Structure 1
Amino acid sequence: MSWRATLLFASVLALAGCQREDREARPSPVGSETQEQVALVTLSPGEQEPTTYTSGKAREFEGNAYHLSQGKKLFTWFNCNGCHGGGGGGIGPALIDDRWIYGGSIENIVQTIREGRPNGMPSFRGRLPDDQIWELAAYVRSMSGNAPTSAAPARSDTLHPHPSENRTSPSPPVSGGIVPPSGEMPK
């Protein structure tokens, strides 16, 4: 074989080994949202744990740099800073700490964005495509350091003294809120 044939063969092998990320140019329509059943607490009637069901869509969004950066843009465009103060709190709860009132999994955050919460968080069901809700949830989760540093977007440090997402050490979510006496197990 001549050196040209060898070079051609090597370049064909190199190109065959490249894998391009595959993503849709447009998000799926609003009507095709995922169905998630998540529990906020481990309490349930009877002896069994609460029933949960997740679609598995979290894997597609949590460690993907493109989806995290899109979530960052959406966070700004929808003025989430107005209530959450750049993640540090304000009218709405802080998003950069490890306390999550309604659960810290991405499915819990998707549910909060989709359905809203009492006393202020509006529902975005029917207003945002499902993929955008997942992108927002992935970005919100990355604000407390729960994203790989290779994928987490950098945030402007002029917002507050908290380090950017790609420099935040991971802090596993801790369920927040106070269980009222009526919700406690009998003694």
Structure 2
Amino acid sequence: MSLRFRNSTALLALAAALWGCNREERQTRGKPLGETATAAMPDTVYPGTGNAPAPDPRAAQYEGNASAIAQGQMLYNQMNCVGCHFHGGGGMGVALMDGKWRYGGRIDQIVASIDQGRPNGMPAWRHRLTEQQMWQLAAYVRTLSGQERKDAVSARADEVSNTPPQTQTKREPLMPADSDEQ
């Protein structure tokens, strides 16, 4: 067999192998919610004595999803959430590392805060982020509290620090996001 025939056969085999691969499809494009005809996200804040609304069914799709958390981590830096929340430790914005969540710590409640904004400083990101980006960002913000599974979080943070990787930090006890004990 000639060398030319072997190379073309190998190339053909490689192309056939790549064609047959099933890859995960991710939707990376979308319009911000203000540019689409979708309704506003429902407000998930409720009085302390009332019953909590049922979690949004989309939460299961993003919570604990390593890909969504990684995308959310990039968005957290790109959208300059770091400027106010200083890598989750607080500053001009509230701290995201503790168990105290003023407007609820469930992922759908975090999405509602990103979408609608909150009084005294948190802007509404509805016209700047797509719905998917808000869910990804909320998935990452949930990991800052240390309650996320360690196999879902990133092994390294993107900022310069001397802290151990998130996968090696002690997992905080799981606290219900809507409990009064916070």
Tell me the TM-score normalized by structure 1. Answer: 0.70
CA contact (8 A) 1:33 1:129 kept: no
Residue 26 (structure 2) aligned to one of 23, 28, 37: 23
Hey, what's the Cα distance between the residues in 2 that align with 1:36 and 1:54?
11
Where do residues 166-185 of structure 1 align in structure 2 (5 Å cutoff)?
Answer: 166-168=167-169, 169-173=171-175
Greater relative contact order (Cα < 8 A, sep 6+): 2
* Count of aligned residue pairs for this structure pair: 157
Equivalent runs, 1:22-61 vs 2, <5 Å: 22-27=25-30, 30=33, 31=36, 32=38, 35-44=41-50, 49=51, 52-61=53-62
Aligned to 1:71: 72
Q: Which residue identity lines up with residue 48 of structure 2 in the other structure?
A: T
| Corresponding letter in the other structure for 2:63 | E
Counterparts of 2:162 and 2:119, CA distance in 1: 27
What letter is aligned with 2:142? Answer: R
Q: Matched residues in 2 for 1:77 and 1:142: separation?
A: 17
Q: In the alignment, does 2:142 pair up with 1:136?
A: no
- Structure 1 unmatched ranges of 5 or more: 1-15, 178-187
Mark the runs of 5 or more structure 2 residues left unpaired by the alignment: 1-19
TM-score, structure 2 as length reference: 0.72
Alpha-carbon shift at residue 175 of structure 1 (Å): 5.3
Structure-1 residue corresponding to 2:94: 93
Distance 1:176 1:63, change over 3 A: closer
Point out 4+ residue stretches in structure 1 off by more than 6 angstroms: none
Q: Within 5 A, what are the aligned runs for 1:146-185?
A: 146-153=147-154, 154-156=156-158, 158-159=160-161, 161=163, 163-168=164-169, 169-173=171-175
SS in structure 2 at match of 1:103: coil
Aligned residues with identical type, % of pairs:
37
Q: CA RMSD in A?
A: 3.0
2:115 aligns with 114
> CA distance change for structure 1 residues 143 and 105 in 2, over 3 Å: closer, same or farther?
same
SS where residue 99 of structure 1 aligns? coil
Change (3 A) 1:56 1:165: farther
